A and B are shown apart, each in its own frame.
Chain A
Amino acid sequence: MTAVIPSEATPGTDDRAAGSGRRRPRAPRRSGLSFRTRGEIALFTGPALIVYIGFVFVPIALAAYYGFFTWNGVGAPTKFVGADNYIRAFTDPNFLKAIQHNAFYVIASLVVQGPLALLVALLINRRIRLRGMFRLLLFAPYVLSEAVAGVAWRLLLPPGGAINAILGGLGLDSWKHDWLGDPSVTNWTVLVLISWKYLGFAVVLFLAGMQSIPDELSEAASIDGAGYWQTQLRITIPLLGPTIRIWAFLSIIGSMQLFDLPYILNGGRPATGNQTMATYMMLYGQERHMYGFGSAVAVILFVLSLAVALVYQRLVLRRDTEGALTRGVF
């Protein structure tokens, strides 16, 4: 990506070759790095690694361990059950439904938010009045806490709440629903709310991507007589590819891990038809005191996320530098 910095400087700082991984430093490596360089690397990465391993990897390893036990959280886990918890999860219709709900959010979020955010980003990337204000209003839901947003929506969505009142006022009585209780609509409610919440993030990300597209290209196109939208379609959107792919990745992972919003809205329980994998995990891991089983579900959630990320990386992100999530970019 960036230009290669040759590294024939002093030995000991042998290769600062930031950037290209193909170009090996020309300086002889001798027996690898100097003691001092090793020390620097350790000093700079050590604290982060400790926090990262201690609070990210260790919990996941613990979950993998607890997942093999039936354990109610009192005392030490002693009842080893092997893979039983995993088998149970995958034979529980409610967990399979939860997976389907997450899959629905993953796909529907991409389909709904992607094009909409692109359209809006293209609109406010133009030199319109009050652009900053539009950007702020669009981004507002994203910066709100899920809990705060959830509490607000919980007040708006009950059968006798403001949303149904507005629908009634518009003469759309047949559109009224028990938005958080009717299992046939709750998934749509959640979809609308996550679209509302995360559209702004997509828009800001796309705007950021558009900023780095050279103006010379669209200028050239408009000199050639292409209209604004034609230019966007032919030039901006294709060049936005890497940004779109990274957004899609973040959106997919976010949809797979959805917890706060459904949990605050209606608990995200099976009976309301909008249970997610994460609320399923917390239902067992918290309320039902089945810590072993809950941990197994955490592991499943982790492995599924990892699998999706790997596949995505392989099929989609391969060409994008910074999207190389599983391999170094050097």
Chain B
Amino acid sequence: MNRPKTSRFIALAAASALTLGLAACGQDGGDEGGDWGDGNASGKVTLTWWHNGTAEPSLSYYQSVADAFTADHPDVTIEVTPIQNEDLQTKIIAALQGGDAPDIFAQWGGQEGTDQFNAGQVLDITQSSAAAIEAMGAAVDGWTTPEGNVYGLPFTMGIGGVYYNVDLFQQAGISQPPSTMEELADAVGKLKAIGVAPVALGGVDEWPAAHGWYWLSLRECTKDPRDHAAVTKDFSDECFVKAGEDLAAFAATSPFQEGFMSASAQQGAQSSAGLLANGQAAMELMGVWEPAVLKGLTDSGELDFELGWFSFPAVAGGKGDPKAAMGGGDGFSCWSKTEAPEVCSEFLSFIVNVDNQVAFAQTGIGVPVTPGGEAGLADEVLKTVAENTAAAPYVELWLDKLFGNNVGGALNTAVTEMLGGANTPAGIVQSLKDAAELE
């Protein structure tokens, strides 16, 4: 939840999973294959579990899932290791490569997951977790190889959007959340007038800055050039340059807080999320993890204002569908060399059973995947996000994940450079091309 780290998942899959979920509440996706214990004569098993929920409430939630599992399986010990998200991504690769990997680890699927599967590093759970896979429906597609082998199970998926402080909007006299870029610019002016930073941005992490470009390209481009680019790395469509120009024009109105280039996204009161959480900024473009992050950054653990959500505004003349959305999901995989494959696979299924998904939804960390889990959503904002996810004509994967770590990373850097004054809209596209040529 720290960062958009997700997999290639097929847009409609997410949407349909949630829609199906509303109809399939009663189905129980968990609890299958629980009889491993008798067959395992050696008894004690210790599994290590690496996740990125380093802050509350994720920390306790993951621990409680592990505790619940070990309560049912007294011979199993689960060593839960939260690792800071950026470190985690590297460590998983190194650990898999080095042969000392955790049994269960965060899996964002997509091309990298398939590569890991083909290199024999992740466990094939197509059979062993069949019940959970079936319950989940199309949502698992992002964690499936083109040949149909499932190597991971997602536990959350959701789309991004603009989180805002409803109180500050009212105070500034903004009656309706902006639905076009013009209205957004208008809102920025009004918010400045009441002395708050209109938009909080964590520039030092780069991806938050790039999210603006992602969404603008979603509005400027039809789906084709982007999906085409994801495969062929061809960025010649002029809509990509337009996205940069739109962002440059918006940035020219100085909508961001002072010092946004050195602000982190989620660390401390001076981070972009910290500013929004403490009422010093009015909005932030983020993913579905935002409400939980915001609460973690206040002294009381609760927000003392009403948090709202609106989808990214439309762009006049843009070729993209103004209702299209962007997002991603998180999942877990088992290591192929885990000492207890059946237990590990059972644990993966256990994480996404309805009870745990309802509990997950109740924490307000994100939107669950398994149908029935959404019953636990208490947070109004998350409910809105879940509804919008279901209603979106298609959901594009976060572009840095869609394009892969290399090109995606170059995109994040180039967009941030532009906001810092060191790059141009055309330069961003050039950076994408240069990065693509490295592969």
Contact = CB atoms under 8 A, between A and B. Distances in A.
Determine direct contact between A and B, CB below 8 Å. Answer: yes
Interface of A: 70, 72-75, 85, 88, 92, 94, 157-161, 178-183, 266-267, 269-273, 283-284, 286-290, 293
A259 to B, nearest CB: 15
A182 B261 CA distance: 7
Contacts of B206: 269, 271
Contact of B118 (A75, A159, A267): A75
B262 A179 contact: yes
A286 B263 CA distance: 22
Interface string B198-236: 000001101001000000000000000000000000000
Q: Which 4 A-B pairs have the closest CB atoms?
A: A181-B262, A181-B261, A159-B259, A75-B119
Interface in B402-439: 405-406, 409-410, 413, 416-417, 419-422, 434, 437-439
A272 B421 CA distance: 10
B398 to A, nearest CB: 15
Contacts of B119: 74-75
A181 B437 contact: no
Contacts of B259: 158-160, 178, 181
A88 B438 contact: yes
Nearest to B93: A73
Nearest to B262: A181
Main secondary structure of the interface of B (DSSP, over half): helix
B421 A70 contact: no
Given A74-B121, A290-B406, A269 B115 contact: no
Interface string B256-267: 001111110000
Contacts of A271: 203, 206, 209, 261, 413, 416-417, 419-420, 422
Contacts of B86: 287
Contact of B422 (A181, A266, A273, A284): A273
Given A183-B422, A287-B90, A72 B115 contact: yes
Contacts, number: 106
Nearest to B90: A286
Nearest to A182: B261
A64 to B, nearest CB: 18
B112 interface: yes
B420 A74 contact: no
B406 A181 contact: no
A187 to B, nearest CB: 13
10 contacts: A73-B94, A158-B259, A159-B259, A180-B204, A181-B259, A183-B420, A183-B422, A287-B89, A289-B93, A290-B406
B52 interface: no
Give the one of A70, A158, A182 with max B CB within 10 A: A158
Nearest to A289: B405
B97 interface: yes
Contacts of B203: 181, 271
A160 B118 CA distance: 49
B96 interface: yes
A72 B263 contact: no
A114 to B, nearest CB: 30
B409 A159 contact: no
Considering residues A74, A88, A182, A271, which has the most beta carbons from chain B within 10 angstroms of its beta carbon? A271
A182 B203 CA distance: 11
Given A273-B422, A290-B405, 6 more contacts: A75-B119, A160-B270, A178-B261, A283-B409, A289-B93, A289-B406
B4 to A, nearest CB: 14
B93 A272 contact: no
A74 B409 contact: no
Contacts of A178: 258-259, 261-262
A94 B112 CA distance: 26
Contacts of A179: 262
B77 interface: no
Contact of B409 (A182, A267, A273, A287): A287
A74 B116 contact: yes
Interface-central residue, A178, A182, A273, by most chain B CB under 10 Å:
A178
Interface in B99-131: 112, 115-116, 118-119, 121
A72 B97 CA distance: 11
Which residue, of A70, A74, A88, has the highest number of chain B Cβ atoms within 10 A? A74
A72 to B, nearest CB: 7
A179 B261 CA distance: 10
A273 B419 CA distance: 12
A271 B209 CA distance: 11
Contacts of B270: 158-161
A286 B88 CA distance: 11
Given A178-B262, A287-B90, A74 B112 contact: yes
A161 to B, nearest CB: 8
Given A73-B93, A273-B420, A288 B405 contact: yes
A96 to B, nearest CB: 13
